[in-house]
Structures are given as structure tokens and as C-alpha cells.
Structure 1
Amino acid sequence: MKRFLPLAMALAAAACSPAPAPAPTKAAAATTQMSPDELVELRKASAQVLFWNQDTRSANFRRMDALFPGTTAKASSTPRALPKGAPLPFDEAAIDAFMKDQNVAGLMMIQNGKVRLERYGLGMTPEDRWTSFSVAKSFTSTLVGAAIADGKIGSLSDPVSRYIPELKGSGYDGVTVEQLLTMTSGVAWNEDYTDPTSDVVRLFSDPVPAGVDPTVAYMRQLKREYEPGQKWEYKTGETNLIGVLVRRATGERLSDYAKRKIVDPAGFAGDLFWQIDTGGGNTGGCCIMLRLSDYARMGLFALEGGKGQVPANWFAQAGTSHADIGVPGFGYGYQWWTYPGGAYGAQGIFGQGITIMPKQRIVFAVVSNWPVASSRKLTTERLQFFQKLAEAAQ
């Protein structure tokens, strides 16, 4: 595989929606019902996580289920074993330097189903879980594949409004499920986290009429800027729409559907926690918490084709570029980023990720606490380091 190239625009776009604010009570998390006052607090503090300092993130990224509302998919009753493979012939000092430079909490490399490298930092243990934000997008897209396999979604060419009728007459008229997955709807969107008037901020802060899904309420107001399929633009709101679509099509919460379609067949050893939005639904574009080993198991699940839970060619298509993001060698698939040499991956702010190299039969899982939400430099260095590890493994 040729060397990873600088990411430029792709890395800036790797940022995801901010997490909801802390739930005032455990009852809110358990019932997914929130009082009007709790809803106000959620909207006021929608971007709070982005402004935590590093020490706070290190503590809270492993305990978000105690701070935020959400639902849980319990661990598999038959966890997938991850046997140890031959030690990776690589300079330990270089691994230490990578861990320090990237502020890594956990790093795992699996080749041919065996663990070649496993390291922890920041006080994290193998049993701890760590939060990721936009890595959730790749989980949500996998549930689309599962719903197609189950006959709940007819086709990727179906109009989104077939499943979310409230979008008829909006900028999403004529937009297909596939165009949502590839973020090529043509609907105007601003993902600037520093702008309090941006769409990604207002999505979580604008008041919502009673009885209306918060994502649908906001997204149906947006105007079309380009014809569907013409231009890629990163939109967390659209992954949230995908989450709504899956809920409507299956009649299940995302965490419940993920339990049957991902957690159990992939053999997760720990619970999957998935945060909810102000409407009580799991947020499709954001906010899951897993063990490092279970992020790796998700990568293996994709690498091995999905254990019959998705159409036979789903991950081959999902991990192939369907959208030009303006960076040579890189692209966007079905809520997975695509890299040179046939690799693809899930990315989340503050340094979380799953990277899959099908040709080498390698999966990397990493959880970190970067000093900034998104960094071209740190992401480029991470991908380049993974390439060096992959070369050593050969």
C-alpha cells in the first residue's frame, strides 16, 4: 500500500456533532423521557463537551453513561475471543512516542484475527469504555445495511421521504437513502463548531415543537443548494436523519437494533452505550461508548463482511469511495472514510478511530484525548504510523 497522503479537508470534516448535555437524573437516561426544564438544559449545553479541558475529558470520556442520557446494548453472551498473535517487530520507543504525541488511551492492532499490538495509557484498562463521537456514524450506516437485509428498507435508491414523510416538500424531496449515506444530498449546511449560528449548533439548540422529532424539525427547514448527487459536504445532521430513518423503518431504537445486528454477531465483550437526543432517540451521528477491544471487534465485523447481518457486498461498497472530498486518494463511502490502497475507517473528534486494511487483513482501533477536536497534523501522523506498523507486520 502506498503511503497515506495529507488529509487537508477530510480531517477538518472529521469533527462530529457535540454531545448532549448531562442528564439531571438517572431516570431520564433510563426512560428516555425528559421534562421541559431538562430539554432546555440539553439545548443550552449542547456544545459543552467541546470546551472541556484535557483532564476533564480523560475522566469523563470513560464515564459518559453516568453523565449523559442514553440507552445500552448489553454485551454479547458469547464474546469473540481475540487471541494473541506473534509480537510485532517494531521499535518500542517509537510506539511510546506515538502514544505520548497522540495522547493515546488505547491502541490495538489485529491481523488475521490475532492481536499483534495492544497498549493502554491515561490510566485506561482493557475493561474501561471510552467515548467516541462520529465513529457512531459508521455504526448507524451498518444498521442501514442490516435493515436492507431484513427487508425493512427496500433499496438505497428509495427516497428518504418514503421513511420520513415529514420531509416531503423540503430540500430533501427526491434525495435518496444512498445520497444521505454519502452526504451528497445537495442541501445547504454549515458544520462550523466555532459559529453559534451554524447548523450543527442550531440543530441541538433550537426549540422544537412538541411531538416533533428534533432532527426532522430542523432538517426539513434547510434549503437545497445543489442537485442531489453533485457535491459532497460533511453534515452530521444527515447522519442523525439516517438514525431517524432506521428507527422508522425497523420500529426499534438504534441501540436495540444494534444489539441484534452488531453487538451479538460481532461478539462484543462489553456493553455499548449510545446517547440520546432531546426527542429520546439514539443520536445517529454521534456518541457511543465501548471498550477498545470492541471498537476492534467492530472493525473485524466489517473486515469479515458482517456475519450475514448485512447484504453480502455491503462493507465492500460501504468502504469504497462514492464521493469526491477534494483530497487525492481519499473519499467518502457509506459513512466511512476511504483511504489510499483500499483502506477505510471510522473517525471521531479528539482522536478516536477504527482503521481497516482489507488487503493486509489488519484492523486498528485507537482511542485518544487530543488537545483539539480535529487536527490535520495528528490524523495524518496517525495514519502514517499505522502504515508503518502494517509494513512491519508483513
Structure 2
Amino acid sequence: MKKWIFGALLFVAAAAGGFWVSADKDMKALISHLPTDSNVLFWSVEQRDVGFRTMDRIPILAKANVIAKGDKVYPLPAGEPLKIGMDVDAYMKAQRTAGLVILQDGKVRMEKYGLDFTAQGKWTSFSVAKSFTSTMVGAAIKDGYIKSIDDKVSAYIPDLKGSAYDDVTIKQLLTMTSGVKWNEDYTDPKSDVALFNLHKAEKGMDVTVSYMRKLPREAPAGTKWVYKTGETNLIGVLVSSATKKTLSSYLSEKVWAPFGMEQDATWLLGSTGHEISGCCIQASTRDYARFGAFIMGGAKINGVGILPDDWLAPATSKQADIGMAGKGYGYQWWTYDDGSFAAQGIFGQGIFIDPKRNLVIASNSNWPKATDPDTVGVQREAFYKAVQAAVDAEAKPLLK
């Protein structure tokens, strides 16, 4: 993740007076266990347990915009507990799950918490935010701020003109098929994801744009998929430039307030003031589940869609081959060939959506490792299948 987001927490000496008095339990716990490394990937498990629910309250990270809720709350009525054919408590322990909310047919079929987290808390999204950002592209097209996803990116971000991004369309950014060379290895200090976090922006330019306009091309645009957080950050700059609004205020305007999220959320800002749109929303697990319900319901407010009619189908189905059987990548959504799709972030953040079963599974976790597809990743996929099987088992008697 971004080292400059999770910068060294050396504020303690300067802030030890009045701040300590006002700090809540979570903050005091974090201050008592300060990381010795600035990168979240090297925080201890205990530091992450506290840090993931306090990202927007750590003074050195506290530059964030509010995603304001509205006056109404989208109801999440309780349903009959879902009988899942596995030990859910053991699963949550193995996953180090902080929050789990399962909605099916619009009702809460399961809601559980761990790691001293509660329904009232907010947990970081990490890359789950990418799917929020891509949805705002669709909204901007519907509102007339963006003409088409086939437009060149540099038409909306003039500072990219003359770079490798001159040949890249908005659609190719959304599907991560720009062909621009990028290294997302979080463990490599020379990777782009590490270097661009340390980059000093050119005067008057967004820090991400300043770094990425110097990158070389490695493949023709549209021909190669490579996961690139930096390009989602570019998408956020593009939306803000087109709408003349912050990404947070636009998300509040289009979704958060009118759909009825229960709590204000926040979105961390980069060094030049744009939201870190490839990461870093702080929201409750229940509101992540509500966003899943919003998307599954066609992204509609009072029956009126906020997205173009032809947006959601391609956005949530395979547009790029990621080299994994049965899976793909849409417009910043991970897709499954069975029609389900998901927003995913490191350390176990996720919103899984299965329209066929009217099912949403929102989860926030602190996995032992940032990514571990062969253990916790496999466990999560098995859990999704177990929930799907439980829903199918309930439906069978109705079909007789």
C-alpha cells in the first residue's frame, strides 16, 4: 500500500499533550503500539487491529474528506438466521474478521463482529474503494460531465498529454489494460507503488499525475491486464476534474446521502489534496453492505438509475482476462463467470455480490498477510460458496 499514506507516526512527541487527553480508546491503543516502519505491510497484527479502524483519526493521516450521509437510513431488517454448513465462528477466527454482514433478499441473514470492532465503528476499505471510484465514472457519464468511456484520458487530465497515456482511453483505465508499464509489488522498495508514494509533485500538478505521466509503455493499449492502483488514482483525478467536485462530495451526492447510508464515511487524501481513489474509504461494514445492495439493485435512487442503462452489465462482467480460470476483471470489479462479482481489498476487505441469489456479503478483516490466496483467500472463496449453497438449500423446497 501507499507508504506516504501510512507515514511514520512520529507525531506523538509533539502531540502528547492535549491530543492524549482527547484520544479515544482505539487511538490510545495505537499510540501505545506505534509501528517502527512507515509501511502498513510491516505493522504488527496488533497495530493493524487498531489502525484499520482509526485511519482517519491518526493525526499524520487525518487529512480526509467526509462522505456525508443524508437524513434517511436505508433499512436493513433482520431475517431468519442463515444456516451455513460450516463453523462461521471458526472461519472468522481464521480470517481475523472484524465485521461480517450477509444480506439476502434485502434482509440481514447474518451479522457478526470480532477484533473488538462493532457495528458503530468504521473500517478501512483498502482497494474496495476502487469499485466506488469506477461507479462515479458511470455517474459522471450519466450526468453529462464525461462524454464516453472511449474518450482519451488526457482529454480530462491535460497534464497527461505527451505521455504514454495519450493513447489510453477511460475504459482502458477502468479495466487496467492501459499497457503502461507498472510494478505493484508491495514488498519491492523499487516498485512503482513504492516510488510514486515518495514522489514530490511538480508544481500545480496532482502527485499521481506527476509521477505516472513519466512512465513508459510496455504493450499496446488494451492488450495486457496489469493491476495498477496508480491508475485508479488517476480515475479519481479524472472524475474530480470533469465534475469540478471532490470525489467524496460527488459520492455523497449520488449515493451516500440519497440511498441512505447510516453513517458519515471518510476518504483519505493524498499529498496534493485529491482523494486516494484506489484506496482508503473508512465506513461501517453495514454501509459497505448497503453499497452492495445499491449496486445489486441496479444503482437506483427512488427507482431512477444514477448510471447509464448500459453500464452495470459490462462493469460487473469480465472485460479483461486476468489469467485465472472462472474469473476476470470488469470496471474495477473482480468478476466470476457465474455472474457474481466483488470489490476486494488487501487484508481481507470485500463486498461480494451475487445477483442470482439476491445476495451480498460484506466483510472487513485483518488477515495475517496482505494477500495470501492459497490460505485465507481460499477460505474466503469456500465461505462464499457455502453461503450460496445455504441460500440454494432454502430455495429447493419452494421449487417442489
Asked if these proteins are the same fold (TM beyond 0.5), I'd say: yes
Q: Distance in 2 between matches of 1:184 and 1:378?
A: 28
Q: Judge conservation of contact 2:179–2:217 (CA < 8 Å) in 1.
A: yes
Deviation at 1:21, TM superposition (A): 3.3
Over 3 Å off, 4+ runs: 16-19, 21-26
Alpha-carbon spacing, 1:336–1:47, altered in 2? closer, same or farther (3 Å):
farther
RMSD over aligned Cα, in angstroms? 1.7
Q: Distance in 2 between matches of 1:103 and 1:184?
A: 33
Secondary structure of the structure 1 residue equivalent to 2:120: coil
Q: Secondary structure at the match of 1:231?
A: coil
Secondary structure of 2:236's partner?
Answer: helix
In structure 1, which of residues 263, 282, 288 is the aligned counterpart of residue 281 of structure 2?
288
Structure 1 residues 19-58: aligned runs within 5 Å: 20-21=5-6, 48-58=39-49
Whether the 8 Å CA contact 2:316–2:330 is kept in 1: the answer is: yes
Helix, strand or coil: the match of 1:204? coil
Quote the residue 2:31 is aligned against.
none
Residues 261-340 of structure 1 mapped to structure 2, 5 A cutoff: 261-307=254-300, 308-340=305-337
Give the fraction of aligned pairs with identical amino acids, expressed as a percent.
50
SS of structure 1 residue aligned to 2:338: helix
Q: Is 1:237–1:285's contact at 8 Å kept on the other side of the alignment?
A: yes
Q: Output the CA distance in 1 between the equivalents of 2:312 and 2:148.
A: 16
User: Of the two, which has the highest radius of gyration?
Assistant: 2
The C-alpha deviation readout for 1:56-91, integer Å capped at 9, x for no partner, is: 111111111111221111222111000011111235
1:214, distance to aligned residue in structure 2 (A):
0.3
Higher relative contact order (CA closer than 8 Å, sequence separation 6+)? 1
Deviation at 1:17, TM superposition (A): 4.4
Task: Assess if the C-alpha contact under 8 Å between 2:122 and 2:285 holds in 1.
Answer: yes
Q: 1:75 aligns with which of 69, 72, 75?
A: 69
**Which among 101, 124, 129 is matched to residue 117 of structure 2?**
124
Residues of 1 paired with 2:260 and 2:314: CA distance?
A: 23
1:171 aligns with 2:156: no
Q: In 2, Cα distance between the equivalents of 1:263 and 1:366?
A: 19
Q: Is the 8 A contact 1:19 1:133 kept in 2?
A: no
Could you state the TM-score of these two structures normalised by the residue count of structure 2?
A: 0.87
Tell me what 1:65 maps to: 56
Q: 1:19 to 1:99 in 2, by over 3 A?
A: farther
Q: What's 1:137 paired with? A: 130
Partners of 2:40 and 2:140 in 1: CA distance? 32
Can you list the C-alpha shifts for 1:91-132, whole angstroms capped at 9, x where unaligned?
A: 5x6101101110001111101111111111111111111112
Residue ranges of structure 1 left out of the alignment (5+ in a row): 1-15, 27-44
1:314 Cα deviation from its structure 2 partner: 2.0
TM-score by length of 1: 0.88
Instruction: Say if 2:335 and 2:341, in contact at 8 Å, map to a contact too.
Output: yes
Matched AA of 2:319: H
Change (3 A) 1:390 1:297: same
Equivalent of 1:100 in 93, 103, 113 = 93
Judge conservation of contact 1:299–1:355 (CA < 8 Å) in 2.
yes
Counterpart residue number, 1:7: none
- The corresponding residue for 1:37 is none
Check the 8 A contact 1:17/1:134 in 2, yes or no.
no
1:151 aligns with 2:144: yes
Q: Does 1:373 align with 2:373?
A: no
Instruction: Write the distance in 2 (CA, Å) between the matches of 1:79 and 1:142.
Output: 21
Q: Report how many residues are paired.
A: 360
Q: Distance in 1 between matches of 2:150 and 2:87?
A: 47
Q: Distance in 2 between matches of 1:21 and 1:86?
A: 41
